[in-house]
Amino acid sequence: MENNANNAKHNPEDYKIRWNVIIFPVLFFLLILAAGIGIPDVFNSVINKGVMLIMKDLGWFISLSTLFLVGFCLIVMMHPIGKIKLGGPKAKPELSTFEYFALSLCAGMATGFILWPTAEMLEYTARPPRAFGQVAQSYQSIVDALKFEWLHWTFTPYALYTAYGIVVSYAIYNLGKAYTASSALYPLCGEKMGRRGKSVVDIICLFSIIGGVAGSMGYGLLQLGSGLEYLFGINTGLMSWIVIAVVITVIYVGTSVSGLKKGIAWLSKNNTYLFFFFFAFVVVFGPKSYMFNLTSEAVGQFIRDYIPMLTVQDVMPDSDLWPQWWNNIWWLDWVAFAPMTGMFMATLSKGRSLREFVVVNMVLPSLFALLWFGMFGSLAAHIQYVMGEDLLSVMDAHGSSYMQLFTMSYLPLDVIMKPLLLITQLISFVTLANSMTSTVSMMSIAPGKNYQSDEAPMKLKVCWGVLMAAIAVLFLWSGGLDGAKSVKAITGLPVFVLELAACIGFILFFVKGKAPERKKEIEYEYENLDPATGELTEVCMEDALWKGKKHTEAAG
What is the per-residue pLDDT for 12? 60
350 within 8 A of 87, measured Cβ to Cβ: yes
Q: Is the pLDDT of residue 404 over 70?
A: yes
Per residue in 123-142, pLDDT (tens digit) is 999 999 999 888 999 999 99
Residue 91 has a pLDDT of: 92
Is residue 259 very low, low, confident or very high in pLDDT (cuts 50, 70, 90)?
Answer: low
Separation of alpha carbons 162 and 70, rounded Å:
9
pLDDT(175) > 80: yes
Least confident of 53-57, 85-89, 169-173, 281-285: 53-57
| 525 pLDDT tier (thresholds 50, 70, 90) | very low
H-helix segments, 316-450: 322, 329-348, 354-358, 364-381, 391-398, 403-407, 414-443
**Which amino acid, residue 17?**
I
Residue pLDDT, tens place only, 375-393:
999 999 999 999 999 999 9
**Which pLDDT belongs to residue 282?**
96
How far apart CA 324 and CA 332 sit, in angstroms, is 11
Relative to beta strand 15-17, strand 445-447 is antiparallel
Per-residue DSSP letter, 382: I
Residue-range domains of the chain with CATH? 2-440+455-514 (1.20.1740), 516-556 (no CATH)
Task: Determine the average pLDDT of the residues in 150-174.
Answer: 96
3-class secondary structure, 378: helix
| Res. 74: pLDDT tops 90 | yes
Sign of CA dihedral 137, 143, 148, 149: positive
**Which of 492, 472, 552 lies closest to 215 in space, CA to CA?**
472
For residue 472, the model assigns a pLDDT of 77
SS (H, E, C) 7-66: HHHCCHHHEEECHHHHHHHHHHHHHHHHHHHHCHHHHHHHHHHHHHHHHHHCHHHHHHHH
Backbone dihedral angles phi then psi of residue 15, each to the nearest 5 degrees: -150, 160
Whether 541 and 521 have beta carbons less than 8 Å apart is answered as: no
Average pLDDT over residues 355-379: 97
Measure Cα distances from 512 to 86, 182, 505 in Å: 20, 21, 10
Cα 359 from Cα 348, distance rounded (Å): 14
- pLDDT over threshold 90, residue 249: no
- Please provide the DSSP assignment of 488-519 as one string: HHHHHHHHHHHHHHHHHHHHHHHHTT-SHHHH
Is residue 267 a contact partner of residue 431, using CB atoms and an 8 Å limit?
yes
- The mean of the pLDDT values for the chain is 84
Please name which of 333, 343, 332 lies closest in space to residue 435, comparing C-alpha atoms: 343
Contact 213, 443 (CB under 8 A): no
Residue 260 has pLDDT above 80, yes or no: no
Among residues 459, 463, 472, 465, the alpha carbon closest in space to that of 433 is found at 465
Averaged pLDDT, 484-500: 82
Angstrom distance (rounded) from CA 407 to CA 115: 12
| Contact criterion met (CB below 8 Å) for 272 and 99 | no
**What is the model's pLDDT at position 509?**
95
For 409-421, the pLDDT digits (tens) are 999 999 999 999 9
For residue 313, the Cα-to-chain-centroid distance in whole angstroms is: 23
Phi, psi of 293 (to 5 degrees): -65, -45
Q: Give the best-scoring range by mean pLDDT among 395-404, 525-534, 538-547.
A: 395-404
Tell me the pLDDT tens digit for each residue of 504-522. 999 999 998 888 876 665 5
Backbone angles phi, psi at 447, to 5 degrees: -65, 145
Amino acid type, 287: P
How many Å apart are CA 457 and CA 259, to the nearest integer? Answer: 10
**Which one, of 303, 279, 276, lies nearest residue 291 by Cα?**
279
95 phi and psi angles, rounded to 5 deg: -120, 155
Query: Whose CA is closest to 253, among 514, 389, 438?
Result: 438
534 C-beta neighbours (distance < 10 Å), count: 7
468 contacts 29 by C-beta, under 8 angstroms: no
Residue 288 is which amino acid?
K
Taking residues 396-406, what's their average pLDDT? 86
What pLDDT score does 483 carry? 59
Spatial contact of 144 and 53, defined as CB atoms under 8 Å apart? no
pLDDT beyond 80 at 87: yes
pLDDT band (50, 70, 90) for residue 354: very high
For residue range 199-220, list pLDDT tens digits in order.
888 888 888 877 777 777 777 7
Report whether pLDDT(290) > 90: yes
Terminus-to-terminus CA distance in the chain, angstroms? 37
Q: What is the pLDDT of residue 465?
A: 80
DSSP 134: P
pLDDT of residue 203: 87
What would the pLDDT profile of 293-330 be if each residue is shown by its tens digit? 999 999 999 999 999 999 999 988 888 899 998 999 88
Alpha-carbon distance of 441 to 500, in angstroms, equals: 25
Beta-carbon contacts of residue 540 (< 8 Å; ≥ 6 apart): 524, 525, 528
Round to whole Å and give the CA distance between 125 and 378: 12
Average pLDDT over residues 168-180: 93
| Residues sharing a CB contact under 8 Å with residue 66, sequence separation 6 or more, in sequence order | 156, 159, 160, 310, 331, 335
The Cα–Cα gap between 48 and 464 comes to 28
Distance CA 534, CA 538 (A): 12
pLDDT tens profile 4-20:
444 445 566 678 888 88
pLDDT value of position 506: 97
For a pLDDT cut of 90, what percent of the chain falls above it? 42
